[in-house]
Amino acid sequence: MERGGEIDLGDLVRTLVASGYARTDRVEARGELAIRGGIVDIYPADAESPVRIELWGDEIDSMRTFAVSTQRATGEIDEVTVYPAREMILDHGVEDAANRLRMLEPWASSTWDRFAEGMAFPGMESWSPWFAEERTALDEATEATVVVFDPVRCEARAAELSAEEDDLAAALAPTWGTGAPAAGDHPALYLALAPDDAAIMAPPQAAGPGDVGFEMRGLDATPGDPESVAHAITRWRTRNVSIIVAMDGEAAANRVARVLAEHGVALDPTEAADGDRPIVLPAGIHRGFRVAGVRDRRRR
């Protein structure tokens, strides 16, 4: 949504509720929604701050972030992207699949009934493998080169999650009833990390000529000291190093860009890195980000 755009309030509320947002009188936590006349308060599931949208008819007149504690506005924004507040959306596809599962897997008919009726319930995400293909985030990245940092730890953690699921299935299998799959025969909730050639494995240190290594170390600056950080960035720029400052959320990215600009470092807030100028991304390292123009040398 963006300032100046038009939305239908009823459609917006229905979409947000279907996406897992809970209506409340006062927004205080992620995944909550409040309506007061032509004012819509939303706390996006991945946002640093909630957003207040003021409507003039169907037009978005203003958009502001606000503080949970005081409910007062903290800054104006031009647009906001609101992602679902839960992993599983109860759409018509899920309802149709649940109706088919009623016949194919009658041992869980009471659960399929809830899905078919569009009822959200605690723990429903654990049933998502029955409704989805066995695909991972790496499978979805068909138009990008994925870099997996510290692949050994990633693979070990993936194996741990799979083992935990197997243990839980073994404990619950006796309660599933007649006709239920044996433990281990059900669709897996966690899939093994088995990337194909589209992914680059990047261990902390290259073990051989075929490995891609990424050196990771601190910025050599005092945390919380903008002047120190600005000096460090300036030093790295003189070495022809591409600089990306990754922050959690648009508000944090804009704030860092503004503070560093006051200390002589110009950073462009953007959605993707192009490697040509220092930038600040509204996406934390732990969430990942897209670097435009960088190609896998193995594909050349």
pLDDT category of residue 208 using cuts at 50, 70 and 90: low
Average pLDDT over residues 194-205: 64
Full DSSP string of 194-249: ---TTEEEE-SS--STTPPP------SS-TT-HHHHHHHHHHHHTTT---EEE-SS
Cβ atoms of 120 and 89 closer than 8 Å: no
**pLDDT value for 184:** 79
Domain ranges of the chain: 9-76, 87-131, 145-215, 226-289
Angstrom distances, CA of residue 187 to CA of 39, 86, 124, 166: 43, 20, 14, 11
pLDDT category of residue 63 using cuts at 50, 70 and 90: very high
Burial of 112 (0-12, 13-18, 19+ CB in 10 A): buried
**pLDDT value for 299:** 39
Structure-model confidence comparison of residues 175 and 248, the more confident one: 175
Structure-model confidence comparison of residues 136 and 14, the more confident one: 14
Full DSSP string of 107-131: GGHHHHHHHHTT---TTGGGGGGGT
Check: pTM over 0.95? Answer yes or no: no
pLDDT of residue 213 exceeding 70? no
**pLDDT value for 294:** 47
Tokens for 142, please give them.
């068909």
Find the radius of gyration of the CA atoms of the chain.
24
Give the sign of the dihedral formed by CA 284, CA 51, CA 292, CA 148. positive
Architecture of the domain defined by 9-76 = 2-Layer Sandwich (3.30)
Tell me the pLDDT tens digit for each residue of 106-136.
999 999 999 999 888 888 888 988 998 777 7
**pLDDT value for 64:** 93
Average pLDDT over residues 255-277: 75
Nearest Cα residue to 288 out of 232, 241, 252, 244: 244
